[in-house]
Structure 1
Amino acid sequence: MGTFKIEGGHSLSGEITPQGAKNEALQILCAVLLTAEEVTIHNIPNIVDVNKLISILEDLGVKIQKKSKGSYTFKADDVNLDYLQSEQFKQDGRGLRGSIMLVGPLLARFGKGYIPKPGGDKIGRRRLDTHFEGFINLGAKFRYNKEEYFYGVEAKKLKGTYMLLDEASVTGTANILMAAVLAEGTTTIYNAACEPYLQQLCKMLNRMGAKISGVGSNLLVIEGVDQLGGTEHTMLPDMIEIGSWIGLAAMTRSELTIKNVSWDDLGQIPTVFQKLGIRLERKGDDIYIPEHKNGYEIQNYIDGSILTIADAPWPGLTPDLLSIILVVATQAKGEVLIHQKMFESRLFFVDKLLDMGAKIILCDPHRATVIGHDFKSTLKATTMTSPDIRAGVSLLIAALSAKGTSTIHNIEQIDRGYEDIDTRLRAIGAKITRV
């Protein structure tokens, strides 16, 4: 198990460039299975979860060539479907939640898709009903092996239909969408997710020959086509990483520039940090965060009541940033209620922040009230373990602002979502070593 040693309390400075978007990569990479032609993808992040998925594609028989850093070509013209029934696949697929999105493309193109119950972060229940109900609506037969926790869907030919999703699941929408592009007739998906990463998937599929309309809305209409061709695609920067660096700059009172952020795809993120009192400026497509020498003050609502920051489906705030926002609030002036609606275990990492001296009241599994220190007392260094990707980075940000040397164990969780994070942080002045 890997460990970070972090000497906190130092100001950082310079420029940092966000990696390609992890959550987009997991969708886009699965989509290469929809065609026998070559697909070239740029700005792929070099992180554990994405590399695991590339490895699964390789084992499936996809021909993969690395062209340069972050750029690969994929050709799925000789897919080995027997691998889906192998013990190796049951093992590999279980270790990666994003592997669920292999099912839609495989079902659409080959008439069958299988997946072991996926793993991923232990942040609460993450059900798969939306995915499989969508496949069943398209005409697939569903089966589940309880002994092996192994799911399967099969269909001779998918048929387009109308469906109202029970939740605006991003991965569920992506999976159903990828199945529907090769279905017979027209599919209408209402209450579809409409995140920028899903819009990216739609645009890529349309370039491949799909007929998807309503991109960017929660009502997608897909006219099925017989086959798709190759394309070239460049992924957006990772908005969660961008939010992480905004929080890092504020907590360490550092002057930072975040490069090439694709500002127009950030939605609520800059506004939410501004509500915490953090000043940031748009410079072209960069975000400039000045040094917050005098700290930052949380805005109340107009009537003076306490600010609530909650997650919501796009264009609301992504739940992946709430852990970081909570940490940033520990040094703000004022109070804020953090309401994490989606996952009932995601706020349990606050006990580690309490050990560091933060003032947080965990109201219930979904809500925490944070009373900021206003930098009048700093967080104290401690030893902790990363429970999931986002909580891990939040604790890392807390450690970089704390006095003394902190230790974070289980950093493999952080590596799952952040590319070469210690090297990139050292480049802007962080004192962090990987043990």
Structure 2
Amino acid sequence: MSNAFQIRGGKPLSGEITPQGAKNEALQILCAVLLTSDEVRIKNIPDIKDVNQLIDILKDMGVIITKNGKGDYSFKADNINFDYIKSPEFKKNATKLRGSVMILGPLLARYGEAYLPTPGGDKIGRRRLDTHFQGFVELGAEFHFDEIESFYSLQAKELHGKFILLEEASVTGTANILMAAVLAKGKTRIYNAACEPYLQQLCKMLNRMGAQISGIGSNLLTIEGVNHLSGTDHTMLPDMVEIGSWIGLAAMTKSAISIKNVNWNQLGVIPETFRKLGIKVEKDGEDIYVPAQEFYTINKFIDGSILTISDAPWPGFTPDLLSIILVVATQAKGTLLVHQKMFESRLFFVDKLIDMGAQIILCDPHRATVVGLNHESPLRGTTMTSPDIRAGNALLIAALSAEGESLIYNIEQIDRGYENIDDRLRALGADIRRI
């Protein structure tokens, strides 16, 4: 694995780019194959590290996996190996990936037992798993945490439907409890449920498999338990974080870029949020066209006060795109307050942007004020290290707009979330290579 991107920035780009399948949907959908012994076929799976690791974990657990074509796999979980799931090897492999937590719900529902080491993932502040385990316990599971081994185990003779009020609208928490509830006895209602498009996709897929879930797209899901689920075919949505990233890339590099097949009706407030920064985002059928713009001016609130963009659970603005918004604002005309409510320490990467010449005041771990340079003094190339997946992509966009050469280290973080990103950027005319 190479370890740095070398980028010569300041070149306008042009052309078309197709977003990959959605990473955050893939992690949920892949765990759902454990709910049935029938074959489940999934298309548009992104070829990225986090997803491939989960596919490897499923294979090691005994799931039979057939590759039908690029991003197109069939899964058959008719013989799960619990000896492996309790083994030191599993403990080692599953810790590498945060998304592995979502194997718990399906295993508990179908086999009455589930095991998992404390999962890893991004360094973006503490992401607690309490919501997941509280939900399982309410459905009737016994929960045990071995602190010495850092190993979670769940057992249940039988799960029973329940009214569950989540303390936070956690996407993975909702998905996990939902997958446990589809095979529980009786009716489960999950209130304050996450309602992201990816979670709606999971609900629709489970219903095609024979589950009875209603309230899809709302924050109150009702699940009538069924005895068993069958196989299905599923095609994943495009990744909305990639779509937002390419809008930001076009603006920062003053480029005309067409983003293909974006599934407009699933983008929520994303296009409108970029328009608030003065970026033209045009609908062209199912594509987004961003025309080349020399300048863009940040809108103010109606009363003339400074615009704030903050993240919120869906249908609010996704926290995964706040780093892109922040980078794009550095070259806008005007001032923006970025408020990262949902995670701490995700804004620390602004140090790198300040090194590049951006005018940013980091107010505290959650807020940064950006004073736009209006493309009058471009960012300068520099050497940097990617702290997490999303900041890594934001720094990549900054480097592509900057004058001179930049080096980005720790690009494994970028590869975890973006498929073949250097080739796809070169196709738009970017000067980027792995070294």
State the Cα distance separating 1:82 from its structure 2 match: 1.3
What are the within-5 Å matches in structure 2 for residues 209-288 of structure 1?
Answer: 209-288=210-289
Letter in 1 for 2:33: V
State the Cα distance separating 1:137 from its structure 2 match: 0.4
How far apart, CA to CA, are the structure 1 residues paired with 2:304 and 2:69?
Answer: 53
| Of 144-153 and 38-47, the range deviating more from structure 2 | 144-153
Residue 348 of structure 1 aligns to a residue whose secondary structure is: coil
Aligned to 1:289: 290
Aligned to 1:417: 417
Letter in 2 for 1:125: R
Aligned to 1:175: 176
How far apart, CA to CA, are the structure 2 residues paired with 1:94 and 1:422?
Answer: 28
How far apart, CA to CA, are the structure 1 residues paired with 2:249 and 2:153?
Answer: 43
Residue 347 of structure 1 aligns to a residue whose secondary structure is: coil
How far apart, CA to CA, are the structure 2 residues paired with 1:369 and 1:36?
Answer: 52
State the Cα distance separating 1:147 from its structure 2 match: 1.1
- Post-superposition Cα deviations, 1:21-61, rounded to whole Å, max 9, x if no partner, equal 00000000000000000000000000000000000000000
How far apart, CA to CA, are the structure 2 residues paired with 1:357 and 1:126?
Answer: 32
Alignment partner of 1:313 is 2:313: yes
Letter in 1 for 2:398: A
State the Cα distance separating 1:208 from its structure 2 match: 0.1
How far apart, CA to CA, are the structure 1 residues paired with 2:341 and 2:86?
Answer: 36
Aligned to 1:63: 64
Taking structure 1 as the reference length, what is the TM-score of the superposition? 0.99
Residue 118 of structure 1 aligns to a residue whose secondary structure is: coil
Taking structure 2 as the reference length, what is the TM-score of the superposition? 0.99
How far apart, CA to CA, are the structure 1 residues paired with 2:247 and 2:131?
Answer: 33
How far apart, CA to CA, are the structure 2 residues paired with 1:349 and 1:256?
Answer: 26
How far apart, CA to CA, are the structure 1 residues paired with 2:119 and 2:176?
Answer: 14
- Post-superposition Cα deviations, 1:363-388, rounded to whole Å, max 9, x if no partner, equal 00000000000001000000000000
- Post-superposition Cα deviations, 1:171-193, rounded to whole Å, max 9, x if no partner, equal 00000000000000000000000
Residue 346 of structure 1 aligns to a residue whose secondary structure is: coil
State the Cα distance separating 1:153 from its structure 2 match: 1.1
Letter in 2 for 1:219: L
How far apart, CA to CA, are the structure 1 residues paired with 2:201 and 2:211?
Answer: 13
Letter in 1 for 2:157: K
Letter in 1 for 2:307: L
State the Cα distance separating 1:74 from its structure 2 match: 0.2
How far apart, CA to CA, are the structure 1 residues paired with 2:277 and 2:84?
Answer: 49
How far apart, CA to CA, are the structure 2 residues paired with 1:344 and 1:82?
Answer: 38
How far apart, CA to CA, are the structure 1 residues paired with 2:347 and 2:118?
Answer: 24
- Post-superposition Cα deviations, 1:107-132, rounded to whole Å, max 9, x if no partner, equal 00011111111111100010000000
Query: Which 4+ stretches in 1 moved above 4 angstroms?
Result: none
How far apart, CA to CA, are the structure 2 residues paired with 1:112 and 1:342?
Answer: 32
Residue 222 of structure 1 aligns to a residue whose secondary structure is: strand
How far apart, CA to CA, are the structure 2 residues paired with 1:234 and 1:345?
Answer: 34
Residue 144 of structure 1 aligns to a residue whose secondary structure is: strand
State the Cα distance separating 1:150 from its structure 2 match: 1.0
Letter in 2 for 1:188: R
- Post-superposition Cα deviations, 1:50-84, rounded to whole Å, max 9, x if no partner, equal 00000000000000000000100000001111111
How far apart, CA to CA, are the structure 2 residues paired with 1:12 and 1:128?
Answer: 42
What are the within-5 Å matches in structure 2 for residues 15-414 of structure 1?
Answer: 15-293=16-294, 295-414=295-414
- Post-superposition Cα deviations, 1:135-167, rounded to whole Å, max 9, x if no partner, equal 000000000011121111110110000010000
Letter in 2 for 1:56: I
How far apart, CA to CA, are the structure 1 residues paired with 2:250 and 2:94?
Answer: 36
How far apart, CA to CA, are the structure 2 residues paired with 1:89 and 1:350?
Answer: 37
State the Cα distance separating 1:280 from its structure 2 match: 1.2
Letter in 1 for 2:164: M
- Post-superposition Cα deviations, 1:252-309, rounded to whole Å, max 9, x if no partner, equal 000000000000000000000000000011000000000012x100000000000000
How far apart, CA to CA, are the structure 2 residues paired with 1:114 and 1:328?
Answer: 43
State the Cα distance separating 1:12 from its structure 2 match: 0.2
How far apart, CA to CA, are the structure 1 residues paired with 2:119 and 2:371?
Answer: 37
How far apart, CA to CA, are the structure 2 residues paired with 1:270 and 1:215?
Answer: 23
Letter in 1 for 2:400: L
Residue 100 of structure 1 aligns to a residue whose secondary structure is: helix
How far apart, CA to CA, are the structure 2 residues paired with 1:176 and 1:57?
Answer: 19
How far apart, CA to CA, are the structure 2 residues paired with 1:292 and 1:84?
Answer: 53
Residue 354 of structure 2 aligns to a residue whose secondary structure is: helix
Letter in 2 for 1:83: Y
- Post-superposition Cα deviations, 1:337-381, rounded to whole Å, max 9, x if no partner, equal 000011111001100111001000000000000000000100000
Letter in 1 for 2:378: T
Query: Unpaired runs of 5+ in structure 2?
Result: none
How far apart, CA to CA, are the structure 2 residues paired with 1:160 and 1:371?
Answer: 52
Letter in 1 for 2:199: L
Root-mean-square deviation (CA, aligned residues, Å) is 0.5
State the Cα distance separating 1:93 from its structure 2 match: 0.8
Residue 348 of structure 2 aligns to a residue whose secondary structure is: helix
State the Cα distance separating 1:20 from its structure 2 match: 0.2
| Of 227-236 and 81-90, the range deviating more from structure 2 | 81-90
